[in-house]
Copies of this chain bind each other. A is one copy, B any other.
Amino acid sequence: MAADASTRPGRPGRRPGPTETREKILDCARRLFAEKGYDGASLRGIAREAGVDPALVHHFFGTKQGVFIEAMRFPIDPQAILSRVAGTRSRDELGVALAEVFLEIWEDPARRVPVLAMLRSAMTNEQVATMMRQFVSAALLGPVTEAFGIAPIRVEAAVGQLIGVAMLRYVLGVEPIASATRQELVELLAPTLQRHFDEG
């Protein structure tokens, strides 16, 4: 079927059929924020990618920050992760469990994209950094510290190990860690994480 002119951009007015544009914009926003970070991604770029006028983005989300906040909604549910990690395992298997959950997230595009966007944006934008700082403190440190009685600085050291490896693997793409299998990485990381949790 030929592309109907009324569904293609170029003419003002509402498009026929149900509205799917809003979600498409958010999708493209997530992708671009993930690729270029908050400051690097542009409203106009997002609009272009979504096949939409920039003003429509503004109409839906108000400001650029509004787009970002909306796009970052529910990237991952910390509580779900926590119960995944804590659930069926004993404390001396925390390392393996954490490594596995972490890699699952990063290997699944649908979840990697918003996380990457958050990470990249936090590096150069102070407001996003604040968002992430609060997230790490409230959603990660608090619960883990309480649930397992591990010193916060040790949890952070473990989180640091994971973030650093993610940077080398997914952002910089340094070999050989970028091409390692998930299994290899679990074996590489799990004992290290476990070490952080066992001491002190």
**Residues from chain B with Cβ under 8 Å of A156 in the complex:** 165, 168, 174, 176-177
Q: With both chains docked as a complex, state the minimum distance between the C-beta of A21 and any C-beta of chain B, in angstroms.
A: 27
Q: With both chains docked as a complex, state the minimum distance between the C-beta of A110 and any C-beta of chain B, in angstroms.
A: 22
Checking B36, B40, B168, B195 against A160 with a beta-carbon cut-off of 8 angstroms, the contacting residue is B168
Tell whether A123 is near chain B: CB-to-CB under 8 Å: yes
Q: Name the residue on B nearest A124 (C-beta).
A: B37
Q: How many chain copies?
A: 2
Q: In the bound complex, how far is the Cα of B188 from the Cα of A199, in angstroms?
A: 10
Tell whether A154 is near chain B: CB-to-CB under 8 Å: yes
Q: With both chains docked as a complex, state the minimum distance between the C-beta of A194 and any C-beta of chain B, in angstroms.
A: 10
Are B165 and A160 within 8 A (Cβ)? yes
Number of contacting residues on A, CB 8 A?
45
Are A153 and B188 within 8 A (Cβ)? yes
Q: Name the residue on B nearest A177 (C-beta).
A: B156
Contact with B along A144-186 (1 / 0, CB 8 A): 0000000011101101111111011001111111001000100
Residues of A within 8 A of B (CB): 36-37, 39-40, 119-120, 122-124, 129, 132-133, 136-137, 141, 152-154, 156-157, 159-165, 167-168, 171-177, 180, 184, 188-189, 191-192, 195-196, 199
